[in-house]
Amino acid sequence: MSNKKVCVVGAGGFIGSHLCEHLLIKDYQVTGVDLSDLRLSGILEHPNFNWQTMDYSLGENPQILAQNHPVVINAAALCNPSLYNTQDLQVMHSNFNAPQKLANECAETGTWLIHFSTSEIYGYGDATQALHESTPSNLGSVGARRWSYATAKLLLERWLVGLEKERNLAWTVIRPFNILGPRMDYIPGVDGQGTPRVMANFSSALLKGQALPIVDGGKAQRAFTWVGDAVKAVELILKNPSSSKNQAFNIGNPANEISMIALAQQMVEIYRKIQSQNPHLAPVAKPALRHVKGTEYYGPGYEDSIRRLPDISKAQKLLSWQPQTDLLTTLYGCLEWFTQHYGNLVCK
């Protein structure tokens, strides 16, 4: 079978939906697997797209996915910082037990598994330099429940290496660094509950006319990556199997590094411009920011790394991949989508 036929597990999610769209544009035959197809309404009738409703987290029929496709891309994950130290077991099951079964089937059938891991496997990281794929992990103590997600993802990576050595699995790991774009997460009280990731969190506050929550002084720094650049990297992985099999790749945009408080300030300014042309939207709150401790906002056991900057030289060298979208364009693209999609649904 040709590598132009792929199965995307987690197709109904944020990254998975964008990946399916991109691969269809590039003439791939795509099978999408997930519980919900709400993010896929634009491609459900595409002649090269096959949708399967399946609860991947329960390990339903992983052999079917592996047997019928030369490549399986696993973009499914329970990825929400508010759950890491409140629903540890669910987080670890979703990010280790379920993908472990899929990986075992891929090894059994000779299927190439491309797996989305996380940049959080680096843990506290190194505030003084960029993180290379060979940088050792430095996770918090067992008592710091916040690291449940990273621990599960890291263990799965080690499982893949073990399957390669003992059962000849062909694998590729993607470590995404803070991917942003339309359809990311949800707005609490509209189409979800709890605390989403930072982009949806800040967007929700802006749309509701509330102050943006700044956790622990907003000192943490992250490098944000446009989702279109990220899915292009996956395409290049598929096109370059000899360079990408049995390799891990950082996928991020180091040029887009910013602190959380600076991110909030920039989003406030962008939103003000959008709101000035759309008076039905709630105005920016006064004050626009509110400070809160991480343990109060996310719960006991919360910790975080102060900086997580990707070294992408490996992807540049082996895949000829280079992110193209700057931070301002990325933030505008996200906020414009949130205001268009939720502006009439969110009440102040």
Give mean pLDDT, residues 12-40: 96
Tell me what pLDDT residue 193 has: 78
Q: What is the pLDDT of residue 63?
A: 66
Average pLDDT, stretch 153-164? 99
Q: What is the pLDDT of residues 1-20, one digit of tens each?
A: 466 999 999 999 999 999 99
CATH number of 5-180+226-254+310-325: 3.40.50.2000, 3.40.50.720, 3.30.2310.20, 3.30.420.40?
A: 3.40.50.720
pLDDT in tens, 203-212: 999 999 999 9
The predicted model gives 260-281 an average pLDDT of: 96
d(CA 346, CA 348): 7
The mean of the pLDDT values for the chain is 93
- The ranges assigned to domains in the chain are 5-180+226-254+310-325
Tokens of 123: 């843990």
Q: How far is CA 238 from CA 2, 105, 111, 278, in A?
A: 11, 20, 13, 42
Instruction: State yes or no: pLDDT of 69 exceeds 50.
Output: yes
Residue 265 — left, alpha, or beta (φ > 0 → left; ψ -120 to 50 → alpha)? Answer: alpha
Q: Which residues contact 43 (CB under 8 A, 6 or more apart)?
A: 20, 21, 24, 49
C-alpha to C-alpha distance for 58 and 56, rounded to whole angstroms: 5
Contacts for 55 with CB less than 8 Å, ≥ 6 apart: 35
d(CA 250, CA 61): 30
User: Is residue 32 pLDDT above 70, yes or no?
Assistant: yes
The pLDDT value given to residue 68? 84
pTM: 0.94
Instruction: Please say if the pLDDT value at position 93 is more than 50.
Output: yes
**Burial readout 162-192 (b: 16 or more C-beta within 10 A, e: otherwise):** ebbeeeebbbbbbbbbbbbbbbbbbbbeeee
- What residues are annotated to the active site? 149
Nearest to 222 by CA among 81, 38, 14: 81
Q: What angle do CA 304, 231, 170 make, to 5 degrees?
A: 85
In this prediction, residue 1 carries a pLDDT of 43
Q: Encode pLDDT of 210-241 as tens digits.
A: 999 999 999 999 999 999 999 999 999 999 99
**Dihedral sign, CA of 82, 204, 310, 33?**
positive
Mean pLDDT of 140-155: 93
CA distance 169 to 6: 17
300 vs 114 pLDDT, higher one:
114
3-state secondary structure of 160: helix
Percent of the chain past pLDDT 90, that is, above it, reads: 80
CB atoms within 10 A of CB 137: 16
pLDDT at residue 62 in the model: 63
Count Cα neighbours of 83 within 13 Å in the Cβ-side half-sphere: 19
The residue among 236 and 303 whose pLDDT is bigger is: 236
The stretch 78-107 carries a mean pLDDT of: 91
φ/ψ of residue 103, rounded to 5: -65, -40
Q: Of how many residues is the chain composed?
A: 348
